[in-house]
Each structure stands twice: as structure tokens, then as C-alpha cells.
Amino acid sequence: MAKSYVTKVEKSIKEESDKILLARKAISKKAVDLENMEIAQEALSAENWKEKAFSFPNRKIRLATAFSGIGAIEHAFQRLKLNYEVVFAGDIDENCKKSYFSNYPIKEENWFSDIRAFDAKKYMGQVDFLVGGAPCQAFSMVGKRLGFEDARGTLFYEFARLIKETQPKVFLFENVKGLLNHDNGKTWNVIYSIFKELGYDVHFRVLNSKDYGIPQNRERLYCLGFKTQTNFLFPAPIELEYRMYDFLEDYVDTKYFLREKGVKFVTSHKNKQKCYTQVNGDIALCQKSNQQFNWHGDFVYHPLSQEDMLAEDYDDFVFDVKDVEEKYYLSDKVAKYVLAGGTKTFRTSTKTDLDVARPLLHSMHKMHRAGVDNYVTHKGRIRKLTPRECLRLMGFKDSFKIVVSDTAMYQESGNSIVVDVLIAILKQLDITKYGVEE
């Protein structure tokens, strides 16, 4: 984290105030009252959400976010080419604000830095969709798991307050999977009951990004609240078509497009002469069952103009391949550390070049051991992921502008929500039904 943000977070963990003490007291009482309540996760739909069309594609969705980060839900709307307006957004991290303002349309007066000082009453009735996830460190399995004892844990109450003050048609609350079993389930019982008391029909489930198109093993809790009773099932998993390599900057084996080595083979005089290959042929060559592995057969030349790039489908992942800067490669000393199997009391995996990435962490700029972070090898050397690759593995297309330092970008991407899971949810619930006519 950036130094100023670390200081803010450390202060927030230790903070004591009448408001926080009152919240803790209310939470403790409610936890006792709900101790034996059992709540089941929502089922998965049998429908193919990718084939669903939006009912009202021209409607405008009035979107509001809290703990906005780098705007995962906003990027999901952009990728789906939906009509949306940012009603308000906010985050305590100044770097997030820089990234947000560089990528999304928002007025300064509609941005807040401290949710505790933000009065949302003036937005009552102006929000169709409210999205947020209170800081997850208070409940994360890799943290101290202080829950509501951590002042960040009480920030959930601030999100609940925004729901009460704005009365959105739908809200989405996202958090770590560990929230469900924190304090033997008491914490989630409290949160769930508060959403119900606010008058919402609540549906929740843990979803993994690798089941929705992104090769990252990232499980998160997604909770939807509807202002009216709704028959909702969460989107069904789809087959994972990509590997982590397809999202890297310096690999030549992205899924459908030939890179330098393949192009040289396909277009060589020898192969043309022997009719192993042809490009843009009038009559197809005899196809081989394994042609995708040896570059034999038919190929087409497909020049991409700037307009074509902008018109790509939301689920297209064709990225530029370029050389990675030297600074991302590990020195021999650091490489030995990250590939060490551990000590007598601590053992970790040393695997690199995974097909499905490990969960991206907000602290990955610190370069943990290989069993915690993601490392790849290229040309016989080991390197960490670049900030752009981390964004790709969170579902952000290369149209997302990077305007902060590498350290800040690693933190921001690690704290974000995977865009493709949000896209699946938006399509499954048909978010346009909740928009307004312009």
C-alpha cells in the first residue's frame, strides 16, 4: 500500500470513537439474538447467461458505488456497452481517485473520500444500482480476522446506511469468502439480517472467477438485494477457454492469433511451396486433426483497425504482445527467495507458470514466495506479473488507463472485483430492467 494509505488504515484499525463503540455493542447484541440462524446460499441457474440479451438496452442505469476502488462495476458496464451514469462514488485511497477520474465520467461534487462523513440523503430515489464491498481485511482468512472488532469491519454499517438513505432498486455487496464463516457464522448472520431489515429480498453465493472466463482462482461472496421480491438464481459457470499465458504481455501463444514465430512459419516460402499452409485461400486445404498444434492448414489475415478494437465483444481477450521491461524480472537473489520451498515450520509451493492464476493480492508488490504470488518464466528467466497483466487477470481491458505508480496499481488491482463475474451477474439479472428511460 502507499505510505499515506497504510497510515490511514493503521489508524482506522486502532480507532476508538463513540460511533464505533456503539456499532460494536449493537453488533454483539444482534449476534447473540441470531446465533442459531442458518441461511443457505442461493442456487445456480441452469440457463446460459452468455446467450441472454438485455431487455432494455437503451435505458440508462443510474449507478452508485462505495469503496469504489478502480471501478470494476463501471468497467463491466463499459465492456457491455451499456448506458450508465455515475451518481456518486468514493474511496479513501487517493490513488484510487486518480485512477477512477482518469477512466470514468464523474463530477468532483459526486465523489467522497470518507464514507463516514458522506451524507447520501440527497440522492434518495436517484440510484438504480448501488455496489460496494466494505474493506475485506477484517474478515479475510489471510488477515487477523478481527471482524467487527476491527474498525474497518464496522464500515459495513456505513454501506447499510447508504442503502437506507438512497433506497436503490438493487444493491450488490461483495466481500471475501471468509465472511461467511467468520465467528462461526455470526458475522454473516448479522449482515444478512440487516439487509433484510432494510426491506430487501436478499440472495447470496460464493463465486469463483475461473468459472466465469478469467483464469484466476478467486472466490468471493456476492450478495444481491432487490427492493421487490425477485426470483433470482446466480449465473451458471462456463467453461474456461483461456490460460494465464493468454493474458501475458511477452508470450506468443495467445489463443487464436499467430504471433511472430507462427507468422514466419505460415508465410515461409517452403510451406507455401509444399502447400502445408495458405493465407486467405479461395479453396480450403485438406484439414488435419492436429493442425492447431503444428500451424498446418488454413489461416486468414485479419487486420485490426482502431474501430475494430473498440468494437470487440465484451468476452474477447486478444491483447497486444510486447517485451516486458527489465524491472519486472527477478534478480538471482530474489528469485532464489520466491522459489524456496520454505523452512522447517513453513512450506510453500514453488510452482510458476500456472494455467489458472492464484488469487491476486493487494500486497503482491512485496513479492511473496511463489506459493502465494504468481510468477512466470520467459526466455529462461523468472519474473513477476506486470501491473497491466494484473489488470487483465481482474477483467480490465487494455483501454483502462494506468495513471499511478506500479506499487499503487498492484494494490488497486488486488483489491478490485473481477469484472467478468460482475458481467455474468449483470446479464443474469438483466440490469437494464432496473434502468430509466431518457
Query: What SS3 class is residue 93?
Result: coil
Hey, which residues does 328 pair with through a beta bridge? Answer: none
| Segment 345-379, tens digit of pLDDT | 667 788 999 999 999 998 999 888 888 899 999 88
pLDDT at 136 over 80: no
Q: Which three cell numbers stand for residue 194?
A: 440487516
298 vs 346: which has the higher pLDDT: 346
Q: Do the beta carbons of residue 437 and residue 32 sit within 8 Å? A: no
Per-residue pLDDT, averaged over 77-95, amounts to 96
Amino acid 350: pLDDT: 86
Beta-strand (E) ranges in 59-109?
Answer: 60-66, 83-90
Residues of the chain with pLDDT > 70, as a percent, come to 72
| Segment 144-177, tens digit of pLDDT | 433 334 334 467 888 888 999 999 999 999 998 9
Amino acid 185: pLDDT: 79
Most confident region among 151-165, 176-190, 290-304, 386-400 by mean pLDDT: 386-400
**Catalytic positions:** 136
Distance CA 404, CA 127 (A): 30
Q: Which of 105-109, 251-255, 292-296, 322-326 has the least mean pLDDT?
A: 292-296
| pTM over 0.85, yes/no | no
Give the number of other CB atoms < 10 A from CB of residue 184.
10
- The H or E element containing residue 207 is strand 201-208
Query: Which structural domains are found in the chain, ordered by start?
Result: 3-238+418-434 (3.40.50.150), 256-316 (no CATH)
Hey, which residues does 297 pair with through a beta bridge? Answer: 277
Q: CA 191: distance to chain centroid?
A: 22
Residues 6+ apart with CB under 8 A from 179: 136, 139, 187, 188, 191, 221
Amino acid 370: pLDDT: 85
**Confidence at 288, pLDDT banded by 50, 70, 90:** low
Amino acid 105: pLDDT: 94
Q: Do the beta carbons of residue 55 and residue 425 sit within 8 Å? A: no
pLDDT at 417 over 80: yes
Q: What are phi and psi of 21, to 5 degrees?
A: -65, -40
pLDDT at 5 over 50: no
Amino acid 401: pLDDT: 96
**Confidence at 26, pLDDT banded by 50, 70, 90:** low
Task: Identify which of 18, 428, 392, 47 has the alpha carbon closest to the alpha carbon of residue 222.
Answer: 428
Per-residue pLDDT, averaged over 8-14, amounts to 46
Amino acid 22: pLDDT: 53
140 vs 237: which has the higher pLDDT: 237
pLDDT at 274 over 70: no
Q: What are phi and psi of 65, to 5 degrees?
A: -135, 150
Amino acid 266: pLDDT: 52
Per-residue pLDDT, averaged over 14-25, amounts to 53
Q: Do the beta carbons of residue 23 and residue 154 sit within 8 Å? A: yes
Distance CA 220, CA 241 (A): 21
Most confident region among 89-98, 265-274, 364-373 by mean pLDDT: 89-98
Following CA atoms 211, 214, 220, 224 in sequence, which dihedral angle do they give, to the nearest 10 degrees? -80
Residues 6+ apart with CB under 8 A from 104: 71, 74, 86, 89
| Segment 398-414, tens digit of pLDDT | 999 999 999 999 999 99
Q: Which three cell numbers stand for residue 374?
A: 504468481
Q: Which of 220-229, 302-311, 364-373, 417-426 has the least mean pLDDT?
A: 302-311
Average pLDDT for the chain: 81
Tell me the pairing of strands 83-90 and 111-112.
parallel
pLDDT at 2 over 80: no
Q: Find the angle CA(179)-CA(182)-CA(186) to the nearest 5 degrees.
A: 105
